[in-house]
Each structure stands twice: as C-alpha cells, then as structure tokens.
A and B are shown apart, each in its own frame.
Chain A
Amino acid sequence: MSIHYPSDLLRNPEDRRSFIEKCAKVSFGLSVLPFFSRIAEAAEAPGAVKAPNADLPGFGKAKRVIFLQLNGGMSHIDTFDPKTGASKGPGTAVSAKGDMQLTSYLPETAKISDKVTVIRSMTAKVGVHASASYIMRTGFEQRGTVQHPTIGAWAQHFLGASHKTLPSSVTVNRSSNHGNGWFPAAYSPLPILNPTDGLLDTKSAVGEELVAKRAGLLAQLDIGFEGKPMDENVKSYNEFYETTFQLMKSSDLKAFDISAEPAEVRARYGKSKFGQGCLLARRLVENGVRFVEVAIGGWDMHAALDDRLTDVGGDFDRVFATLIKDLESKGLLDSTLVVVATEFGRKPSFEGGGRGHHPLVFSSVLAGGGVKRGYVHGASDAKGYAPDGDGVSPGSLHATIAHAAGLPVQTDIITPAGRPMQIGNKAKPVTGVFA
C-alpha cells in the first residue's frame, strides 16, 4: 500500500467546505456553488506568474495532451530507429514520409510520419519495468516517501481545471495510481479501465427523490468520522464523493461513451483495447479533458520479437496513424500534443528470439501541439547502443511536454512536505523540437 500527500497549501479554502454541506446542497436540489466558473475569471486575473519559458518557441501551443504509454519497453531499433549491421532486427528499414526511415513494422505510421517528430536520443538509467515506467510517467525517479504527479496534475495546478464538470485528467487502460502526486486528490486522474465500457454507473438505480433522501442522510451520518483528526486519505474520499455528485449531474458525460461515435470511425480505430482507448482519448480531449494517458502492454519482447511486433506493433501502427489523421482532420492536431512514451528501449543484440531491456538509448515520438512535422531529433550511435551526442532524459521530455502545454518549467513549487520541486525534476525543455 502506498501513501500519498495531498496538499493543504494548495487547496482553495472555498473547496474545503465540508462534504456534508455540499452533499446536502446537491441532494436537496439547491445549486452547488459554481466554483468552476472562477476558472474563467482567473484566466484574466492580473499578475499571473510569467513562466520563465514563456518566450521560447512552442510555449502553450498544446491545449491538450494525449500521452501514450507503450508498456514493456518498445524496441527502438525495430520501430523508429532502424539500424543496419549486427543490430538489425527482422524488419527492414523503409523510407517514410517526412524524410526519415522507419522499420517495415510501421507501414501506416510511415504514411503520416511527415506530421511527427521522432526523438531518437532518449536516455535513462533504469532497466526495470516498474521503476522505469514511473520515471517515464512522472519525470522523476521513484523515491519511497514521495509520490510525484503526472503532467496532468501539474497542469491543473498551474492552469486550473480544464472543464467545469469533466475531470481534467483521465487514464485509459490503467489505474490512476496516485497520478495527483502531492497535489489534492481532486487532481487525480479519473481511471477508465475498459474504454468500451466507458464511465460506468453514472445513473442511480433508484428514483431522484430517494437519491436525495439517501444523500441527505449520508451527509448527516458521516459527521462522526469527519469530526475526527482527519487523515489525508479520508479527505481524499470526501473529495471523490463531492466530485462524483458533481459529475453525475454533468450533461457532458457522453464524452466517455465511444459508442456514440459513428461505426465507421470506431472501425478505423479498430477493436483492440489500444484502438478503443485512443478513440476515447480523442473524444475526451475534444470535449474538454486536458490530459489523457492511454496505456497498452505487450512490448516486453524478450522472445518471439518478430511475431509480437507484427501483432502488438501492428496494432499500434494502425491506431497511432489513425489517431494522428483523425486529429488532423478535426483541426485538433496543432493544439493537441500526442506523445508516444515507453519505459526503455531494447538491446542491439538478440537473446533467444528477442531483445533485453536497454535504458541507455531509446525513442519517443511527439506529434501536434506545435512540434515540428517530419523531423528527427537526436540520434543513437551506429549500433543503437547509446545516444550519439546529448541524450534526452525522461525529465527533459516532461519539461518539453510541459512547455508545449504552457506550464512554467524550472520554476519551484513547494510541496506539503516543504520540498521545492520542478516539472521534470529541473530538466530543461528540448525547444529544438518546436516549429
């Protein structure tokens, strides 16, 4: 069981009104104070902090982010960074749009690669799935005593909520796993474990009158526990109950329902969990969710690499290309940053039909949100073993995403534990990727 540390410091006193009060207001049909309407006021608030990176290229172009997590460790050599010689895998290098080479496992991506930036010089230190995934997700190394937030939570801290009733961050095909870090529990991403099901149980099984009575009684009977010296985790649940009551009233819940998409669109994304997950992500960002993580496993290819790249890699290829084309056709690509992230690469050498973990160099892909089109940033050496020149750390990648999203990088905030922290753990954004 892990622990997390929401912040009192960062919490609006207005929002601290007791659960009871809110609950009662919802249940008795009184209006809930429109605290989300303050977002709009705040946007024009004078004296907002100017981010030190505000004048660098690409700042704030991405109004929303889709963060794809390829879990298991995508082999860079067999996907976005093809090699010749001893390192070469079963796939062959083919010329792709945008003057770059990809492997033959990515035929669909090769048709849209003129819209993406490939980073071939990602570099990290940890070759263990859990710790490496944590670093890729948060930009920080895992420490026993601190939970670090995702970019979604950072963004909610600096920019406020992205929508008045929908959550600002959502995870698809994965749990939220303390994505709020040290920020309040309300910044925690809403997890959708199965994109086809969407958000379940949004309607009460009983009539409105009874719901109101139950909620009213709940509000009165929960006092005993609330009055006690309050545990942070207990407070979190108060916030989740508040948020849930809000969300149930939302008219925007259809954002979670991919069955509302035309059959033709659903077919294009395919039936896989990744395909349906990416379609849901597109639907969510379109409707006002700012940050969506979509996870997909199967990339830990120690054996049968050829089979699995055809299978898992083929699915990724089709879905990723569909997502980019779909965003482009809806006019959303320039304001939506799509990130392809994986915890590490795989070794240049083969061991038993597959490749081992290799954090020293690997690839990431960025698309939309103001990044260059048809561009390759950095390179690995001839073998695909190490970065050729400066590498891009996971922290840098985070700073780059944050920069695109208009967040101040290299700016301290103080956590509830009194520690100064920066997005991407003090790393600089890679501004060279921006157009």
Chain B
Amino acid sequence: MRIFALIACLTLGVSAQAAVKQAGKKAADPVIKVVAPPAAPVAPLGERTAIWHTWTDKEGQKVDAQFCGLSGDYITIQTRDGKTYHFKTDILIPEDVEFASNCVVRNRQNSFSPAIIASAAADIDRLVGVVLAANKQALNAPATDEQFLRRIYIDAAGRVPTAKEAATFLSSNAPDKRAKLIDELVFSPSYSMQMFNWMADLLRVKDTFGKGVPAFTFEDWLKTRIAANTPWDKLVFEMVTADGRLCDNGATGFMLFDAEMPLDGVSNLMTTFLGTNMACAQCHDHPLAEWKQRDFYQMAAFFGATSGKDSAILGAVNKAAKGDSGLPKAAVKKIAEMNSFRLEDMEKQKLTFPKDYKYKDAKAGEPVSPALIAWEKGDKSLPIYNVNTKSPAQLRDQFGHWLTSPQNPRFATNIANRIWKKAFGLGVIEPVNDIDDLTVASSTELMAHLTFVMKAAKFDLREVQRVIYNSKTYQASASATPDLGKAKYLFNGPIVRRLSAEEAWDSLIVTAVGTYADNVLLRRGDDLKAMALPAGKVTLAEVKSAIERTQKAFGGGGKAAGGKKAAGGSNLGLANGYEGAKPVSRFSMMLARASELPQPSPETHFLRMWGQGDRLLADSSTNDGSVPQVLQMMNGSVGKLVADSRSAAVIDAMKEKTPDAQVTSLYLSYLSRKPTGKELAVAGKSLKDGIGLTDLAWVLANTREFLFVQ
C-alpha cells in the first residue's frame, strides 16, 4: 500500500493548490432554495385517555390496572403503583380477553385517519420534490416490495421478518398492503422494543449509576411508558420534573444520571431535548453561536435548587448500622448508596457564577438568577416565557413546562428531526444535536412541516412515524451514503445503512428462535424496591430488614440477580428477571431481544462489538466496522448460533420438500427476498456438494446484504 500512498502524496502535493481553490468553490455551492406552497394543515389528535379496568382471572382474582397493549397471546397492563405485568391472556376470563381486543380498537381510534396520513405524507413528498427539482435532482425509483418489506421491519419492528412474515407480505396482492403492514408493525410489541433501543441510546439508559448502584427502575419505567405509547412531551416532562428515590420512582433516572455533575446534566438535557449546543458555553462564551456563558448559567439555575444526592441518609445509615458490628459492610454501603440516589427540590437556589467568570455581564461568585434562552427576537413574547422564578422549589417544574410546550421554539423540531433521521439515516438538519440555526436545514419548509405534524400528533411518535413511513420519499429506493462535506443531502430516498447493533442482534435472534423472542420481557426494577428504607428516621432494624429483603431479592434468585458478573458476554444469570415467555439460551447467550438484555451489554457481547453505545454520553452508538465483528460473525458464538440445527430459520427451511423451496425459505429468513434463478442454481449445487442448510444459513448471515438495509 505504501507505493500508492506515496504516489497519492506526490500527485496530491502538486495539485494541492488547485484543489484548494476548487474545494473553496465547491463549498460555496449551496442548495438552491425554493419557496413551496405551505403544507396542508393536519387536524390534531384528540386528548388521549387511559383505559382503566378491573381485570379478572379465571380463578376469580381481580386487579385494577391500565391497559397498555396486546400482542398476539400476550397482554400488558399497568397497576396504579406503576408496575407493569405481561402475561398470556388465557389466564383471564373470556370477557376480559374481549375487552382487551376492544381496547386495541379504542386506542387506534385516536390515531390519524388514513386520509390525514395520506395528506401529511403527500406534503412530505411535495416539499422534498420541489427542493430536488430546483437542484436538478429527482426522487430515487420506488423501492421494490422486498426492499420496503425489509426496511419497514427493521425501522418499525427492529428486526427482519421471518420467512413466513416475508412470504405473507410478498404474496399479497392487496393495493394497500404497505400501509397495512406499517400499521401492523407500529402496533406490535416489537415496535416498543425498537423504540426502547432508540431512546436508550439517546437517554443514556444504563443498568448501573455511579459506583454500581443498580438503576433497573429507570429501564422498567421507560419500557412501561413506551408500551403505553406515552407522548414524547409527557415522557420528557415526567423525567425532567421527577421527584423521589431512584429505587421507588424510575422516572428520576434521567436526571440522576448526572447527579454528581449538575452542570453537565443541564448541558446534556439541552442537547437531547432542544438540539441546543450550549456545551461550550458551559466554560466560556460560545465562539460561533450566540450563546454566552451567562446564558448557560441562567438556564442551569432552573436546576439550582435541585438536589440529586441525599448525603444525609448516607451518614444516617452508617450511624444506624454501627449498632450491629456483624452487618456486612458492603451490604450496608449498598443500601445507603441506593437510598441516597434521589431527586428533591430544596427551598434555596444555590447556583453561583463560577469563581473564574471573566465576562462583564455578571460577577464571579455571584448568585445566578434563572432565565430562559431564546432563539429569535419574538420568542420571549411567547406566553411560555412567562415563568415564575420566585419559588426555588418550583423552578424545575417551570422549566419543564417551558421545555415541553408545543410553543417552545425548538422542542418539537428537535424530536421531529431526530425521528426523521431514524427513518432516513440523516436529519433534515445535521448534526441533529445542534439545530440552533434552522436555516441550515436541507429544506426549511420540510422541517417546518414535520414540526407541524409532530405538534398535531400531540408528540405521539408512533403517529409521526406512520406519516413518514407512508410517504413516497420513505418508500423510495435507498441512496448510497452521501458525502455531506461536499453537499447537503436532499432526500432522494433513505440512505443505505448498516443495521444498528440492536437491529443486527434482534434479526439474528428472530432467525434463531422465531417471533417467540418478541414476548420475552426483562423487568428487574421491582427488586430494587426491596432496598428502599421507609421515610423518617433510619433505625438499625430498618437497615437490617432492608439488607435481608435485598439478599432475598438479589441473592435468592430474585429478578435482579446476575447479569453483572457475567463474563464473556454471557447473561445467563439474568434468567429470573423475565416476564411473559422465558428466554432460550444457546452457546452461553441469552436469546432475548437487545432491549431485554443488560443495558448496555458487556463489552465483548455481540451488541457492544457491533456498536451498542456505552451509554455514558447521549448518542454513543456507532456503526463502524471492525475485524473482531467479522471474526465473531464467522467463528464466534453468533456464527455457531446461525449454523445450528436448532435455528428457527433452518427448521423452517427443512420443512420444505424441495431443495429450491429450502433455499428460498432461508433467503426469506435472512434477506427478506426470494433468491434469483442464478442464486438458486449456485446454492442448489452446493447443497449437493457437502454444504448443509446450516452452512447456507451461515453464508447468508455473512453476506453484506444481511448487514445492510437498503
């Protein structure tokens, strides 16, 4: 390679000057802007009402709970104390099974009508179309049914379809079969798993906080909210304004992640929910954007009365524990730590400007008064800017209302842009974590339309995705990854992309065990409640009792047992944490979907090797390739899983009678399409030549086509 490197260097050296000039010209070649007629209004969704019901099982036991979802034979409900339950409907009396089916119908009634979906999707196509036309580009050719099938399964269900699911769709002649499949998938349990993966990366969902304090309650809470399709604005409000202990209230997890670093937390929150890049302003005036260090501190002051750690309880537990020297120290420490993770608003807002503050607009060390940032001149006259900053204990709530209001100048746009990126591979504004300047959008009108749809959907992310998935733009064939350094991408179609770690894993899981895994749910948060101390003075008896409860829950095969010490990517210790169906394990791997495994998985697990984030920072997942990934796919436990006679895909294929039908079945399982004549011939020949169906499965899983979605 060196020769060529040198040649490249030589030739480049000579032409560097010219290239610089050329590059300069290229950079000055902006997208031609056009003014398109505004999009049609989208009638807003009605208010959502939770469906509460007293459920009765066949033994006559009753429970009062909210309906969350129904998938196949499984129902999910949530009781008033926030716990969710996932179980087979056959334990319920028949009336309640029917009631559950009616709940599905009722829930769907509060979604966009087909006419609204069609109109909002058509506006996407029109707005993309005018920009493409003005720049002498066109939409890519429509995606084939095979391409669409695989893409919508990956995007909406987070996995490839099974051979049966693929064959059903491909053989259907219904004119509206795409719209029908979209709806089927966004209302399936896989949708919730897929949304969880996406949010977990954005919200930094982690099994442990600080020095190993378990945070399963946060995961459980998020899963519950997603299962109930809680709108984004409500979800965010709940997280930002949550009170109480992590062990009781999982919603506190988002804020408690940064308990030790409140300033970092504010900076992260602004980026995640508003796409506002205030990170630099944390230390100094932003060199490029408008933000001043003072702006950052004034925003941070809304959290200046919030305490993220109950230091008093740490001391109180240790003091109480001194009464019995026989108590295991590690257990005492664990109880103390767990109980100290709590969010509470104090009576005093304590934030001061830093001691090294060097600008004239405020004084170093002085108290900071909370104030909201604005992007445009008119922003501050919006009613939501009228916040009451008098009561420190109310500051966080006030901030939450401003943050999540449809009137907030960036909140809806931020999530609309991120949801768009989820479907297309790129945001209308890139990078998605910096949307302070809306004019850099590839189409400002498209961005405005998506923002509008988001608001009309009342932040129901499922509805917004239904609109996007039904557009011709989404249903166009994919483009190769564009070079954004050269030009903006105008959305000729979605972008070819490698499956995310979670999508690749979940696809391998469905080929290994079929749709069974869609009902294997991991819920470990309840065990943390065993660690909670009652309110009030901490006594020795309470500490002792909490330790006993904890040992029982964790050590005695409780749900939270295991998972932590598992080495080499094995999660077998998790077995007790599952609800609904129990997971299968093979080759020391727990065959559950990525959302139902530790968050994040251990470092050498397939998920991490393929780019699942460490969740220390928002958006920490990656899609870059590596040699260890390939080794794992070819030779590792995942390679063995694929080339195993117990594989669901292989068993499906073996049921077929002819070699051609067997090959076709495996193609449908892995690539969601039928083989071409040539492929049939090649594969058929090799089946006669010492290659088995398990080997063919291995081969298909190792194709680039399997790894990528077009």
Residues of A within 8 A of B (CB): 1-5, 9-15, 35-36, 38-39, 41-43, 45, 47-49, 125-131, 144-146, 156-161, 167, 175-178, 185, 188, 190-194, 197, 199-206, 209-210, 213-214, 217-218, 220-222, 224-226, 229-234, 236-238, 240-241, 243-244, 247-248, 297, 300, 302-303, 347-349, 356-359, 385, 411-420
- Choose among B6, B280, B498, B690 the residue with the greatest number of A CB atoms under 10 Å from its CB: B6
Inter-subunit contact A205/B691 (CB<8 Å): no
Known: A193-B609, A356-B354, A418-B486. A234 touches B617 (CB 8 A): no
A84 to B476, CA, bound (A): 66
Q: Across the interface, do B16 and A49 meet the contact criterion of CB distance under 8 Å?
A: no
Partner of A229, one of B279, B480, B625: B480
Knowing A144-B484, A418-B486, say if A197 contacts B631 (CB, 8 Å): no
Does B702 touch A at the CB level, under 8 Å? Answer: yes
A302-B2 contact in complex given A49-B9, A167-B627, C-beta closer than 8 Å: no
Contacting pair B635 A225 (CB below 8 A): no
State in angstroms the CA–CA spacing of A36 and B3 once bound together. Answer: 11
A175/B611 contact (C-beta < 8 A), A190-B627, A200-B632 known: yes
Q: Is B72 an interface residue (CB 8 A)?
A: no
The 6 A-B pairs of least Cβ separation, nearest first, read: A160-B2, A42-B2, A417-B485, A127-B283, A144-B431, A201-B636
Closest B residue to A19 by CB, please name it: B704
Query: How distant is A29 from chain B, measured CB to nearest CB, in Å?
Result: 16
Within 8 A of A (CB), among B627-655: 627-632, 634-636, 639-640, 643
Chain A residues with CB below 8 A from B282, complex form: 127-128, 357
Given A240-B625, A414-B19, 15 additional A-B pairs, CB 8 A: A10-B8, A12-B3, A15-B1, A45-B6, A126-B279, A127-B284, A128-B280, A130-B617, A200-B631, A201-B635, A202-B635, A237-B625, A347-B356, A412-B20, A420-B16
Complex Cα gap A156–B9 (Å) = 12
Q: Is the CB of B485 within 8 A of A412?
A: no
| Distance in angstroms between the alpha carbons of A300 and B210 in the assembled complex | 12
State A17–B703 Cα separation when bound (angstroms).
17
From the candidates A9, A130, A237, name the one contacting B707 in the complex (CB within 8 A): A237
How many angstroms between the C-alpha atoms of A297 and B486 in the bound complex? 36
| CA gap between A2 and B707 in the complex, in Å | 16
How far apart are the CA atoms of A218 and B686 in the complex, in Å?
11
Chain B's closest residue to A357 (CB) is B283
Contacts of B623 in A (CB 8 A): 1-2, 233
**Chain B residues whose C-beta falls within 8 Å of the C-beta of A3 in the assembled complex:** 426, 481, 484
Does B13 contact A411, Cβ atoms closer than 8 Å? Answer: yes
Residues of chain A contacted by B279 (CB below 8 angstroms): 126-128, 131
Q: Is B425 a contact partner of A1 (Cβ separation < 8 A)? A: yes
Could you say which residues of chain B place their CB within 8 Å of the CB of A244? 627, 630-631, 634
| Cα separation A221 to B676 with both chains bound (whole Å) | 10
CB contacts (< 8 Å) of A214 on chain B: these are 691, 695, 698-699
| B90 on interface, CB distance cutoff 8 Å | no
Kindly specify which of B177-185, B260-268, B455-463 makes contact with the partner chain.
B260-268
Chain B residues in 8 Å Cβ range of A348: 356
One digit per residue, 1 when the CB lies within 8 angstroms of any chain A CB and 0 when it does not, for chain B 262-290 equals 01100100000000000110111001000
How far is B2's CA from A161's CA once the two chains are assembled, in angstroms? 7
Ordered by A's residue number, 10 sampled pairs between the chains whose C-beta atoms are within 8 Å are A126-B279, A145-B485, A176-B624, A197-B604, A200-B636, A201-B631, A204-B634, A214-B695, A412-B12, A412-B13
Q: Within the assembled complex, what's the spacing in Å between the Cα atoms of A167 and B260? A: 40
Contact B631 A233 (CB under 8 A): no
Asked if residues A193 and B604 are in contact (CB atoms below 8 Å), the reply is: yes
B interface size (C-beta, 8 A): 92
Q: How far is the CB of B315 from chain A (nearest CB, A)?
A: 14
A175 → chain B, closest Cβ, in Å?
6
Query: How far, in whole Å, are A214 and B686 apart by their CA atoms in the complex?
Result: 9
Q: In this assembly, does B543 line the interface, its C-beta being within 8 Å of a C-beta of chain A?
A: no
A410 to B4, CA, bound (A): 21
Given A233-B623, A412-B13, A224–B609 Cβ distance below 8 Å?
A: no
Assembly CA distance A236 to B707 (angstroms): 12
Q: Which residues of B contact A224 (CB under 8 A)?
A: 676, 679, 705
Q: Which residues of B contact A240 (CB under 8 A)?
A: 625-627, 629-630
| A35-B1, A161-B1 given; A199·B628 CB < 8 A | yes
Q: Which residues of B sit under 8 angstroms from A241, Cβ to Cβ?
A: 630, 702
Q: A221-B683, A420-B23 are contacts. A129–B691 as well, Cβ < 8 Å?
A: no
- Contact A201-B483, Cβ < 8 Å, known A126-B279, A213-B686: no
Contact between A205 and B629, CB atoms less than 8 A apart: no
Tell whether, in the assembled complex, residue B703 and residue A218 are in contact, meaning their CB atoms are under 8 Å apart: yes
Q: Are B480 and A230 in contact (CB under 8 A)?
A: yes
Q: How far is the CA of A411 from the CA of B12 in the complex (A)?
A: 10
A233 → chain B, closest Cβ, in Å? Answer: 6
Collect the chain B residues with CB atoms within 8 Å of residue A203's CB: 635
- A232 and B482 alpha carbons, distance in the complex (Å): 9
CB distance from B628 to the nearest CB of A (A): 6
CA distance A40 to B555 in the complex (A): 60
Chain B nearest Cβ from A332, distance in angstroms: 23
What is the CA–CA distance of A130 and B568 in the complex, to the nearest angstrom? 28
A282–B584 Cα gap in the complex (Å)? Answer: 41
Q: Which of A45, A229, A417 is the one whose CB lies under 8 Å from B486? A: A417
Which B residues touch A193, using CB under 8 A?
Answer: 603-604, 608-609, 628
Is the Cβ of A146 less than 8 Å from the Cβ of B13?
no
- Name the CB-closest residue of B to A303: B260
Q: At the interface, yes or no: B700 with Cβ under 8 Å from chain A?
A: yes
A125 CB, nearest partner CB in chain B, Å: 7
Pick from A14, A160, A236: contact of B625, CB under 8 Å: A236
Q: How far is the CA of A236 from the CA of B636 in the complex (A)?
A: 21
Q: Are B625 and A188 in contact (CB under 8 A)?
A: yes
> Chain A contacts of B616 at CB under 8 A?
297
Asked if B93 is an interface residue, CB under 8 A from chain A, the answer is no
Question: What residues of A have a CB within 8 angstroms of the CB of B497 in the complex?
Answer: 1, 233
- Tell me whether A146 and B568 are in contact (CB under 8 A): no
Pick from A41, A192, A414: contact of B3, CB below 8 A.
A41
Residues of A within 8 A of B690 (CB): 209-210, 213
- In the complex the two chains form, is A178's CB within 8 Å of B624's CB? yes
Please give me the residue from chain B that is nearest to A173 by CB atom: B603
B481 A231 Cβ-Cβ under 8 A: yes
Chain A, Cβ-Cβ closest to B18: A414
In the complex, what residues of A have CB within 8 A of residue B699's CB? 214, 217-218, 221
B621 at the interface (CB under 8 A from A): yes
CA distance A243 to B629 in the complex (A): 12
Decide yes or no: A126 and B628 within 8 Å by CB, A178-B622, A233-B481 being known contacts.
Answer: no
- Determine whether the beta carbon of B629 is less than 8 Å from that of A418: no
B430 contacts chain A at the CB level, 8 A cutoff: yes
A411 surroundings in chain B (CB, below 8 A): 13
Q: Does chain A have a CB within 8 A of B500?
A: yes
Query: Which residue of the partner chain A has the closest CB to B639?
Result: A205
User: Could you say which residues of chain A place their CB within 8 Å of the CB of B16?
Assistant: 412-414, 420
A146 to B690, CA, bound (A): 47
Task: Give the complex CA separation of A359 and B261 in angstroms.
Answer: 17
Bound form: Cα–Cα A230–B497 in Å:
12
**B contact residues around A47 at 8 Å (CB):** 6, 10
Q: Are A128 and B703 in contact (CB under 8 A)?
A: no
Query: How many whole Å from B489's CB to the nearest CB in chain A?
Result: 10
Tell whether, in the assembled complex, residue A237 and residue B704 are in contact, meaning their CB atoms are under 8 Å apart: yes
Q: In the assembled complex, which residues on chain A have CB atoms less than 8 Å from the CB atom of B3? A: 12, 38, 41-42, 45
Q: Does B589 contact A (CB under 8 A)?
A: no
Alpha-carbon separation in the docked complex, A234 to B690 (Å): 30
Q: Flag whether B516 is at the interface (Cβ < 8 A).
A: no
Known A125-B280, A232-B480; judge A48-B6 contact (CB<8 A): yes
Instruction: Please name all residues of chain B whose beta carbon is closer than 8 Å to the beta carbon of A417 when the two chains form the complex.
Output: 23, 483, 485-486
Q: A159-B2, A214-B695 are in contact. Are A190 and B604 (CB under 8 A)?
A: no
- Asked whether B603 lies within 8 Å of A213 as measured between CB atoms, the reply is no
Contacts of A176 in B (CB 8 A): 624, 626
Chain A contacts of B330 at CB under 8 A?
none
| Cα of A206 to Cα of B639 in the assembled complex, Å | 10
Q: Is the CB of B622 within 8 A of A234?
A: no
